[in-house]
Structure 1
Amino acid sequence: MQDDISGWSDWNHNFDGIEEISSPSELHGILTGIVCVTTAPTRDEWLQILSTLTVPKVSDEALALLEEEANDVSHALSEDELDYLPMLPDDEHVLSERVQALADWCAGVVLGFGLASGHIRADEQELIESLQDVAAVEFDESDDDEEGEESYQELYEFVRLIPVSLSTGRAKISVADSSLLKHFQSKEKQVKDTSDEPSLVEMYTPDRPS
């Protein structure tokens, strides 16, 4: 299966079933959104990022996988070959599962980008809105046909290149200089935020059906 070649099998094995995220694909989207803005997080930084997301402690193998994938994605986004690929189940999975995974991935990219305080440049607002639109997609059984498959492939090819556009020409900052760890640091200092302003998570998370 292509799942083994793409890395999906290992990714799904390590991150499936985490209640705090919708799916392993959403986590890969979060990772992608982060490295559009920052340098690839280290193992220790991933521990803090996961704490920010209230994700329980993961295994050493999972942390190593996050660090390795972040480096790979960061490299792919910096290249001109446009060979970046989202971490999604292959076409041997039913269409409904792949559509949901793509929606989760899009939501993750938006969330990761927002958590890292990715400043939206003038020409990027439409790209973010496109990701939010796909994140809200609901699969209908009537779409489970050849036309639905073609529509999925077109949508996939469109959104997979959005992180490349978000990353291109952006001066990457360190994770420490981003807003990624602010929540973690505030918890460490036990500082309570009493602001009525919406959080970055609320601002950047699309309105998705339950």
Structure 2
Amino acid sequence: MPANQLPLLSEVEAESQALTLSTSASELHGALCGWLAGGGADVREWPAKVLADASTATPAADGALDRLRQASAAQMGDDEFGFELLLPGAEASLSERSGALFDWCRGFLGGFGLAAGAAPNLSEESREALGDLAKFAATAPQEEGDEEDEEALTELEEFVRIAALGLHGDVVLAARRRQRLN
């Protein structure tokens, strides 16, 4: 498996349950990505950091959660925008997929807030994107839908993906550029 390829959703769920983490795999991935986008450390004990619970067990080296961290960090720093959200596949119901996306957004907001603090230095575009993510996080999944709803969900997923990369760029990449200039 390439270093920047996410583990399967089922693998992340299984290891999360084994560690008795009380969050869905999508929400956990969102929290990790928010943590990384907010400037949080890329460390193996990331679940304790993003769940703000020091008693949370550290994932096994090269287990699904450790691979999730490694791949997510690599994808967020990828110049080719290869960043992916860990969400159920197309075979899942619209309700399951939209619920997972909104869970991902909730996780992202929590992780980002923990890492970036109360007043991160953000562009106007990133502030708006953060507000939109908060709206998505407060949204309930749609029970049924048609092809138009499927297309709308695909567009939302792409928006969330780009918003996460933009926030990462504002907080992490901009800070690295400033350090290089000094």
CA contact (8 A) 1:16 1:24 kept: no
What corresponds to 2:128 in structure 1? 126
Query: How far off is 1:55 after superposition?
Result: 6.8
Percent identical residues: 32
TM-superposition CA deviations, 1:13-57 (whole Å, max 9, x none): 222595643x111110010011113365322x3364267237753
CA contact (8 A) 2:102 2:141 kept: no
CA distance in 1, matches of 2:29, 2:85: 7
CA contact (8 A) 1:39 1:74 kept: no
What corresponds to 2:74 in structure 1? 75
CA distance in 2, matches of 1:100, 1:132: 14
Of 128-137 and 5-14, the range deviating more from structure 2: 5-14
Query: How far off is 1:69 after superposition?
Result: 2.0
CA distance in 2, matches of 1:49, 1:126: 26
CA contact (8 A) 2:31 2:110 kept: yes
CA distance in 2, matches of 1:139, 1:39: 29
Superposed, 1:39-118 pairs within 5 Å as 40-43=41-44, 45-46=45-46, 48-49=48-49, 52-53=52-53, 56-57=56-57, 60=60, 64-118=63-117
Kindly name which structure, 1 or 2, has the bigger radius of gyration based on alpha carbons.
1
2:174 to 142, 162, 170: 170
SS of structure 2 residue aligned to 1:52: coil
CA distance in 1, matches of 2:51, 2:82: 31
Superposed, 1:142-153 pairs within 5 Å as 143-153=144-154
CA distance in 2, matches of 1:147, 1:55: 44
Superposed structure 1 runs of 4+ greater than 4 Å apart: 16-19
Q: Gapped runs of 5+ residues in structure 1?
A: 173-210
Root-mean-square deviation (Å): 2.8
Return the TM-score normalized by structure 1.
Answer: 0.67
Q: Gapped runs of 5+ residues in structure 2?
A: 1-5, 177-182
